[in-house]
Amino acid sequence: MNQGLLGRMGMDPKMALGYLGVMIFMIGEGLELGWLSSYLIDSGLTVQQSALLFSVYGFAVAIAAWLSGVLAEILGARKAMIWGVAMFTAGTLVFLTAGIPTMNLGVMIPTYALRGLGYPLFAYSFLVWLTYHAPQERLGTAVGWFWVSFAGGLNVLGAYYSSFALPYLGEIRTLWSALIFTLLGTTIAILLNKEDKNNKNKKRFETKADAVKYIAKGITIAFEKPKIGLGGIVRTINTAGAYGLVVFLPSYMMEIGFTRTEWLQIYGALWTSNVIFNLIFGIVGDKLGWRNTVMWFGGIGCAATFAGLYYVPHFMGANYWATTAIAITFGACLAAYVPLSALIPSLAPENRGAAMSILNLGAGLSTFIGPVIVGAFIGTVGTVGIIWIFTGLHVVSAILMKFVTLPKNEGQDQPVELSDIKAAQ
């Protein structure tokens, strides 16, 4: 492909290898998501111990996701990404050599958490890098390509790789192979990818105190610019339901009459659809408006389709194709939140990293909020009650988006134009 074609696809030619590198890196991060917990339980951990391990991991992900935006500006995106891969590699080495062989939680928890610190710093620092380099009029499309790369590696290719690798390599060797993907992805994304010599995503600080003060900006900007704070809440809601459904929906589907294999295929179809529509809704956002896309296709669309995940099999029984269709539609609507990654940094063009930190924090917190809601309420409201809680949250996200507008665009439903972005700057 030549540069003109890449540009027409909404992909900055300078960053094309970065997308590929992120996807390959995320295969290494995501290859164990569907089976590691059950393997650890079979190997001697209790369910509670496994839950503790993954809860601490999720907390580490949230912290790293928040810090990634400001660290990308303090250190420069490339250096922040290198720190991320270093932490992921160190955590993996100790987790596999000293943690799993002994099943010692004192070793496993901090080293698996170190992996959790590593991948957001790598991937989300690249996203900050991208917001500085991509053409503003196609920023929605550019971040759509990022989420295709991110989710494609994490949720789709990593899972498919494991399904083929586990029978031949076994669990431990499969986990070791993650390092092949992460180091290859790092080589492509950082060493081979071209970088603007001006390094314009890196801020200059006179003292270390100024740099520390800017880290705090990753929180205070949500109060200085409340629209950015609202965007962080919307981003938390975005995938909270998706992380929550894996806790309770599989057992519901089994009760309806689906086999485990059918459910896994339905779940795989959901995320495959999400990967494809990450790009489509990035393009749609550039055409119809970033806020409108998130509000209607994301908030309202997810509300309707999340409810459908319960009611379609409830009324139609174990109808594989009908349930797959609603799962695909839900996955597509989840992707309609993608333009947030273009809209939120455009609200603070002078502090894009800090703005992205709020958005990334929301992404990290969703890994907590979803399972916490299920654990707190399923005993009293049951499966249908949980469905309606998440459905209601998606409606709330649509309402909040009414207030997340660029300055010139206040109170309007028209698409965001390049002139509006420039005016905001």
Q: Which two tokens stand for residue 34?
A: 């569907």
Give me the pLDDT at residue 71, please: 84
Q: Give the pLDDT confidence of 207-253 residue by residue, as tens digits.
A: 556 666 767 777 888 888 999 999 999 999 999 999 888 778 888 88
Q: Model-level pTM?
A: 0.74
Same domain, 170 and 268: no
Our CA angle for 26, 296, 343, nearest 5°, is 55
| Distance from C-alpha of 43 to C-alpha of 263, rounded to nearest angstrom | 25
The residue-averaged pLDDT of 306-324 equals 96
Helices vs. strands in the chain: H and E counts, helices first: 17, 0
Chain CA centroid to CA 260, Å: 26
Q: Is residue 212 part of a domain?
A: no
| 254 part of a folded domain | yes
Which two structure tokens, joined as six digits, stand for 338? Answer: 């993608």
| 150 shares a domain with 33 | yes
Q: Which of 16-20, 190-194, 346-350, 368-372 has the lowest mean pLDDT?
A: 190-194
The candidate with the shortest Cα–Cα distance to 112, out of 176, 172, 58, is 58
Asked whether the beta carbons of 391 and 245 are under 8 A apart, the reply is no
**What is the identity of the amino acid at 370?**
G
Identify whether residues 339 and 377 lie together within a single domain: yes
Do 68 and 155 fall into the same domain? yes
Query: Which of 35-44, 281-290, 385-394 shows the lowest mean pLDDT across its residues?
Result: 35-44
Q: How many domains does the chain have?
A: 2
Give the end of a domain, one of 195, 212, 240: 195
185 and 230 co-located in one domain: no
Clarify whether residues 102 and 248 are in a common domain.
no
Lowest mean pLDDT among 46-55, 228-237, 262-271, 314-323: 46-55
Burial degree of 193 (CB within 10 A; 0-12, 13-18, 19+): buried
Asked if 160 and 304 sit in the same domain, the reply is no
**Are residue 269 and residue 391 in the same domain, yes or no?**
yes
pLDDT in tens, 51-80: 778 778 878 888 888 888 778 878 888 889
Regarding whether 339 and 291 lie in a shared domain, the answer is yes
Q: Which of 123-127, 193-197, 309-313, 338-342 has the lowest mean pLDDT?
A: 193-197
Q: Which domain holds residue 233?
A: 224-404
In a domain, 418, yes or no: no
In-domain check, residue 355: yes
The CA distances from residue 346 to 20, 72, 375, 422, in Å, are 25, 17, 36, 9
Structure tokens at 49: 């111990």
Same domain, residue pair 177 and 244:
no
Residues 189 and 51 in one domain: yes
Q: What is the identity of the amino acid at 280?
A: I
Whether residue 65 lies inside any domain: the answer is yes
- Domain membership of residue 172 (yes or no) is yes
| DSSP result, 322-361 | HHHHHHHHHHHHHHTTTTHHHHHHHT-GGGHHHHHHHHHH
Same structural domain, 237 and 325: yes
The pair of three-digit structure tokens given for residue 80, joined into one six-digit string: 């922040």
Query: Cα–Cα distance between 288 and 58 in angstroms, integer?
Result: 34
Residue 318 belongs to domain with CATH number: 1.20.1250.20
Confidence of residue 315 (pLDDT cuts 50, 70, 90): very high
Above 50 in pLDDT, residue 47?
Answer: yes
Q: How far apart are CA 15 and CA 6, in angstroms?
A: 10
Q: Give CA separation, 170 vs 157, 163, 177, in Å.
A: 18, 11, 11
